């Protein structure tokens, strides 16, 4: 890596831990070593997601041995993304790193940060097994992320993990929306800033492997992300409802025509059918209108930024010729001399 | 025995000086032994320069109430050292605060502390996402340099004998009553007899030889860092405290004409409880400490709440020991320790606390001296 982060850049590393086991100390030692030798200013924020093992006791020893570590223990278990969000709200750095302390290698941190130093506001780590599609889960996750990215009209590498770096401006964007704890997987991308990615090998993970499996929990996680990032499903319902109402009108017309033209229509069929189709027409209209209002309420209540100003520049022209009373040796005004140089 | 005093005071910080001044009115010959080359050099100088008005202790009503009472006395006596020219803002953090804005304003009104909603242009300085509400309060800073001048002048007028560069080593019982203090100057050691001896050495309270070791006060020391900054123009006239939890405070520091920046999480560098057999004195621990500034941490956290701090310039940083009693960690209360030596009741250790709480100590001292007279 050619570019390196300024040594005085401040790096915040956020690592949630739930029952991280005895390796926690070794992993934090490695992480702390990397940060300490590369940066003057950094902090490590460990979020204990209501561990039931000896994490708290282990952390106590770790805190007395390593500097710049902040430890927050949550009282009840929350989702992984919510645990990250706890750290995001506390991070004070210029660059924010999120990592799974049990499986993301600390020694690749400098490479990720070097990419960030090169101008990328977001850097995604791509685990090599996810790229290869080693397990069904990996392939499913990639497919899901690709779909959801298309839904949201954002550009992400489908193989990304939670090993990421982003700048303070991205963090500010993320924290603007109230539901950032749900949308975190996609939140940096939603900001629209440019990204780079880096392939890395996962460390052999202890219990975090268990989370990477297709099952009830991962399905719920996926649904949660789908419905929290995008309002497309709701839009779909509107479209569907409008379609239904059109069909109902068409059916009503069919019933009337049949009743008028056909001879042997069973008595009561036309009345019953008309009744049903008119009812369906109204229900569909009500559904469509309510969906549209719900959309607006969602947008307001999550306070997701409607727009985000990435950069602001102002015109630097002068609206009048400034004639300064200073002349240099050649008789030109200092102003015009400055403009030539 | 070449010297004889009625009262000997060990430690020329604010508490030592104030006690000397007070006792010189009733007790005859009073002397102060100060190890440094001037008075009020240590914790009396290096702190947040706050004169407490009680706003700061929403979780300890007693401390808050006595702060309010003592403020008036302090203002009366040390008016020329007080800087009241700035706007004091208390901002309540939305998340992580132990009090809410509603509770805070109720608490202030209950105690009769003046509190107003903040003016608009100052509210705009705070992050609306992180700060629930901001209040303008009445709070003062003291000028440690001016306080030193005033103290010296008054001590001289009162005829108190100030002995600088003089370190007290041990205290021993004297057969004729009172105690003997062995003091060490640059070139010699001299025993000094006094009827009453006050130990006001703050962090080094337990380091004086000859006291009954077992019954000493339990002390908790903390190496603390106060950063001094050139405040951004918008804050030149403003002191800000974010309540009530791991937040920060930036206030005028009149002695250097700058602002102090302190942070609940980063100002305390490390804490230890003093053990009887500790080989290093708190001063030695401080001298050995690496003293790497945590300015970057403080500033970066603070500017999330107060983005204008981005324009602050780092000036210098001050390290000092803060000492408290071991049993006051639960709430904010910082009662002052007053401890009479068991063997020798005329030897009294006083652990200073906040600078404006001196009056409570003086009352207790008066009571102690009166018992003797009767």
Nearest by CB to A89, which of B95, B296, B300? B95
Element (H, E) at A17: strand A10-17
Higher pLDDT, A303 or A42: A42
- Is there a contact between A92 and B300 if contact means CB atoms under 8 Å apart? yes
**A41–B296 CB contact, under 8 Å:** yes
Q: State the pairing for strand pair B347-351/B189-199.
A: parallel
- With left for phi above 0 and alpha for psi between -120 and 50, is residue A160 left, alpha or beta? beta
Residue A335, token pair as written in the block: 């102003």
Does the pLDDT value for residue A197 go beyond 90?
A: yes
pLDDT in tens, B140-151: 899 999 999 999
Question: Could you tell me whether strands B347-351 and B258-263 are parallel, antiparallel, or unpaired per DSSP bridges?
Answer: unpaired
In this complex, is the C-beta atom of B300 within 8 Å of any C-beta atom belonging to chain A?
Answer: yes
Per the structure block, which two tokens stand in for B36?
Answer: 């440094």
For B84-109, how does the pLDDT look when each residue is reduced to its tens digit (9 = 90+)? 889 999 999 998 888 899 989 988 88
pLDDT given at position B305: 95
How confident is the model over A328-337, as pLDDT tens digits? 555 444 445 4
In this structure, what DSSP letter does residue A111 have? H
Among candidate residues A112, A115, A114, A90, the one with its CA nearest the CA of residue A99 = A112
Mutation target among A90, A92, A93, A303 for the B interface, most CBs of B within 10 A: A92
Summarize pLDDT for A157-167 with one digit per residue, the tens: 988 989 999 99
Residue in A92, A94, A175 closest to B301 by CB: A92
Task: Tell me whether B304 touches chain A (CB under 8 Å).
Answer: yes
**Residue B296 touches partner A, C-beta closer than 8 Å:** yes
User: Could you say which of A40, A68, A93 has the minimum Cβ distance to residue B300?
Assistant: A93
**Measured between alpha carbons, how far is residue B72 from residues A24, A33, B78, B137, B360 in Å?**
54, 53, 10, 15, 13
State the alpha helices, DSSP H only, in A191-333: 208-211, 216-229, 232-261, 269-302
- Distances in Å between the Cα of B303 and the Cα atoms of A145, B242, B297, B316 are 35, 12, 10, 18
Chain B residue numbers with beta carbons less than 8 Å from the beta carbon of A43 are: 297
Residues of B in contact with A68 (CB under 8 A): 297
> Is the minimum CB–CB distance between A10 and chain B shorter than 8 Å?
yes
Mean pLDDT calculated for residue range B57-62: 74
Instruction: Identify whether the C-beta of residue B45 lies closer than 8 Å to the C-beta of residue B13.
Output: no
State which residue of chain A sits closest to B295, comparing Cα positions.
A41
Pairwise CB contact (< 8 Å): A92 & B95:
no
pLDDT given for residue A206 in this prediction: 53
pLDDT band at A319 (very low <50, low <70, confident <90, very high): low
Whether A43 has its CB under 8 Å from any CB of chain B: the answer is: yes
Closest CA to B144 of B286, B252, B16, B21: B252
pLDDT tens for A114-124 read: 999 888 899 99
* Average pLDDT score over residue span B108-137: 92
Query: Closest residue of B to A172, CA-based?
Result: B304
For residue A311, what pLDDT is reported? 73
Residue of B297, B302, B305 to mutate, testing the A interface (most A Cβ within 10 Å of its Cβ): B297
Each residue of B239-295: pLDDT tens digit? Answer: 999 988 889 999 999 999 999 999 999 999 988 888 777 778 888 889 999 889 999
Q: Provide the 10 A C-beta neighbour count for residue A332.
A: 13
Q: What is the pLDDT of residue A209?
A: 60
- Cross-chain CB nearest to B296 (options A10, A175, A176): A10
A-B CB pairs within 8 A amount to 18
Residue A92 near chain B (CB below 8 Å): yes
pLDDT (0 to 100) of residue B250 = 95
Higher pLDDT, B214 or B187: B187
Give how far B241 is from chain A: nearest CA, Å. 18
The answer to whether A93 faces chain B, any CB pair under 8 Å, is yes
Q: Does A181 touch chain B (CB under 8 A)?
A: no
Confirm or reject contact between A87 and chain B (CB < 8 A).
no
Give mean pLDDT, residues B32-45: 92
Residue B321 has pLDDT above 60, yes or no: yes
Comparing A163 with B53, which gets the higher pLDDT?
Answer: A163
Say if CB A171 and CB A91 are below 8 A apart: yes
Rounded to the nearest 5 degrees, what angle is found at the Cα of B64, between the Cα atoms of B62 and B67? 105
Distance of alpha carbon B152 from alpha carbon B154, whole angstroms? 5
Determine whether the interchain pair A92/B297 forms a contact, defined as Cβ–Cβ distance below 8 Å. yes
Q: Which position has the higher pLDDT, B90 or A177?
A: B90
Q: Chain B residue closest to A176 (CA)?
A: B129
Q: What is the DSSP letter of A263?
A: S
Tokens read off for B297: 């941490």
Q: Does A253 touch chain B (CB under 8 A)?
A: no
Does the CB of B372 have a partner CB in chain A at under 8 Å?
A: no
Please enumerate in sequence order all residues whose Cβ is within 8 A of that of B206, keeping only pairs 6 or more positions apart, or say none. Answer: B216, B217, B219, B274, B276
pLDDT tens for residues B191-231?
999 999 999 998 888 888 766 655 567 788 999 999 999 99
Nearest to B148 by CA among B44, B20, B21: B44
Separation CA B66–CA B278 (nearest Å)? 35
Cis (ω within 30 of 0) for the bond into B27? no
B215 in A contact zone (CB under 8 Å): no
CA A264 to chain centre: 62
CA distance readout (Å), A337 to A319, A321, A340, B80? 18, 13, 5, 55
A10 contacts on B by Cβ (under 8 Å): 296, 300
State the pairing for strand pair B4-10/B219-230. Answer: unpaired
CA B329/CA B271 separation, integer angstroms? 12
Among the partner-chain residues B129, B297, B300, the one whose CB lies closest to the CB of A175 is B129
Of all residues in chain A, the percent with pLDDT exceeding 70 is 89
DSSP code string of B276-309: TT-SS-HHHHHHHS-----HHHHHHHHHHH-GGG
- Environment class of B328 (CB within 10 Å of its CB; exposed 0-12, middle 13-18, buried 19+): middle
State the burial class of residue A237 (Cβ atoms within 10 Å of its Cβ: 0-12, 13-18, 19+). middle
Measured between alpha carbons, how far is A143 from A129 in angstroms, rounded to an integer? 15
- C-alpha A153/C-alpha B45 separation (Å) is 59
How confident is the model at residue A325, as a pLDDT?
A: 52
Q: What is the pLDDT of residues B63-81, one digit of tens each?
A: 777 777 788 888 888 999 9
Q: How far away is chain B from the Cα of A190, in angstroms, using its nearest Cα?
A: 20
Number of alpha carbons in the 13 Å side-chain half-sphere of residue B340 = 13
CB within 8 Å: A41 and B297: yes
Instruction: Report pLDDT digits (tens) over A260-271.
Output: 998 888 888 999
Q: How confident is the model at residue B1 (pLDDT cuts 50, 70, 90)?
A: very low
* Residue B2: per-residue pLDDT: 52
Answer whether B129 touches A (CB < 8 Å).
Answer: yes
Residue A1: predicted pLDDT = 42
Give tens-digit pLDDT for A228-256. 888 888 999 999 999 999 999 999 999 99
Residues 243-282 of chain B with CB under 8 A from chain A are: 265
Residue A339 pLDDT level (bands cut at 50, 70, 90): low
> Could you tell me whether strands A95-98 and A164-167 are parallel, antiparallel, or unpaired per DSSP bridges?
antiparallel
Rounded-to-integer distance, Cα B31 and Cα B194, Å? 9
Q: Does A280 contact chain B (CB < 8 Å)?
A: no
Give residue B333's pLDDT band: very low, low, confident or very high (50, 70, 90). low
Instruction: Kindly list the residues from chain A whose CB atom is less than 8 angstroms away from the CB atom of residue B301.
Output: 92
Asked if B116 has any chain A CB less than 8 Å from its own CB, the reply is no
In terms of CA atoms, which chain A residue is nearest residue B266? Answer: A68
Residue in chain A closest to B301 (alpha carbons) equals: A92
Percentage of residues in chain A having pLDDT higher than 90 = 45
Q: What distance in Å separates residue B12's CA from the closest CA in chain A?
A: 35
Residue B95 at interface with chain A, using a CB cutoff of 8 Å: yes
**How high is the ipTM of this complex?**
0.73
Name the pLDDT band for B371 (thresholds 50, 70, 90).
Answer: low
């Amino acid at each position: 890596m050619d570019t390196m982060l300024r040594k005085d850049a401040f790096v915040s590393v956020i690592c949630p831990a739930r029952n991280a086991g005895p390796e926690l100390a070794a992993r934090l030692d490695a992480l702390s070593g990397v940060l300490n030798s590369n940066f003057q200013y950094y902090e490590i924020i460990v979020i204990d997601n209501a561990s039931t093992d000896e994490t708290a006791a282990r952390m106590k020893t770790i805190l007395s041995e390593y500097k710049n570590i902040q430890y927050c223990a949550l009282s009840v278990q929350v989702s992984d993304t919510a645990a990250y969000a706890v750290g995001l709200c506390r991070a004070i750095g210029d660059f924010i790193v999120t990592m799974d302390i049990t499986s993301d290698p600390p020694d690749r941190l400098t490479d990720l940060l070097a990419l960030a130093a090169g101008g990328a506001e977001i850097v995604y780590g791509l685990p090599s097994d996810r790229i290869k599609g080693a397990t069904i889960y990996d392939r499913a996750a990639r497919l899901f992320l690709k779909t959801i990215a298309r839904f949201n009209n954002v550009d992400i590498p489908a193989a990304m993990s939670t090993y990421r770096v982003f700048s303070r401006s991205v963090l500010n964007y993320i924290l603007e929306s109230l539901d950032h704890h749900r949308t975190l997987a996609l939140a940096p991308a939603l900001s629209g800033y440019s990204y780079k990615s880096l392939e890395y090998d996962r460390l052999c993970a202890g219990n975090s492997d268990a989370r990477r499996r297709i099952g009830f929990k991962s399905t719920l996680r996926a649904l949660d992300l789908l419905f929290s990032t995008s309002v497309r499903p709701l839009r779909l319902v509107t479209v569907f409802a409008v379609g239904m109402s059109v069909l109902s009108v068409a059916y009503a017309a069919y019933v009337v025509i049949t009743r008028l033209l056909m001879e042997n229509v069973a008595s009561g069929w036309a009345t019953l059918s008309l009744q049903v189709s008119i009812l369906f027409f109204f229900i569909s209209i009500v559904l469509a209108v309510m969906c549209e209002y719900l959309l607006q309420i969602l947008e307001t209540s999550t306070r997701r930024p409607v727009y985000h100003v990435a950069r602001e520049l102002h015109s630097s022209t002068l609206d009048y010729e400034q004639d300064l009373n200073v002349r240099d040796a050649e008789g030109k005004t200092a102003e015009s001399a400055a403009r030539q140089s | 025995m070449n010297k004889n005093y009625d009262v000997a005071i060990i430690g020329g910080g604010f508490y030592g000086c104030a006690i000397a001044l007070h006792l010189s009115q009733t007790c005859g010959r009073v002397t102060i032994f100060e190890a440094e080359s001037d008075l009020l050099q240590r914790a009396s100088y290096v702190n947040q320069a706050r004169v407490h008005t009680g706003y700061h202790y929403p979780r300890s009503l007693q401390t808050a109430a006595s702060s309010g009472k003592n403020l008036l006395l302090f203002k009366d006596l040390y008016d020329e050292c007080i800087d009241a020219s700035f706007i004091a803002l208390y901002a309540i953090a939305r998340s992580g605060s132990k009090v809410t804005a509603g509770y805070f304003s109720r608490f202030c009104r209950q105690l009769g502390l003046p509190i107003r909603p903040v003016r608009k242009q100052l509210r705009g300085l705070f992050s609306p996402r992180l700060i629930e509400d901001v209040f303008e309060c009445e709070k003062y800073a003291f000028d440690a340099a001016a306080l030193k001048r005033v103290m010296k002048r008054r001590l001289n007028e009162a005829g108190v004998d100030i002995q600088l560069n003089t370190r007290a080593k041990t205290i021993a019982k004297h057969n004729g009553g009172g105690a003997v203090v062995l003091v060490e100057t640059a070139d010699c050691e001299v025993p000094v007899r006094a009827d009453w001896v006050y130990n006001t050495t703050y962090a080094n309270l337990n380091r004086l030889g000859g006291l009954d070791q077992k019954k000493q006060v339990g002390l908790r020391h903390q190496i603390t860092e106060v950063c001094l900054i050139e405040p951004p123009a918008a804050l030149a006239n403003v002191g800000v405290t974010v309540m009530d939890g791991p937040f920060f405070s930036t206030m005028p520091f009149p002695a250097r004409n700058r602002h102090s920046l302190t942070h609940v999480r980063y100002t305390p560098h490390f804490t230890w409880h003093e053990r009887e057999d500790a080989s290093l004195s708190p001063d030695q621990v401080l001298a050995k400490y690496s003293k790497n500034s945590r300015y970057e941490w403080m500033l970066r956290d603070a500017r999330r709440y107060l983005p204008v701090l981005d324009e602050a310039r780092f000036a210098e940083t001050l390290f000092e020991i803060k000492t408290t009693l071991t049993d006051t960690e639960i709430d904010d209360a910082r009662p002052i320790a007053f401890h009479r030596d068991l063997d020798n009741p005329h030897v009294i250790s006083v652990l200073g606390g906040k600078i404006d709480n001196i009056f409570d100590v003086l009352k207790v001292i008066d009571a102690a001296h009166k018992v003797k007279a009767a």
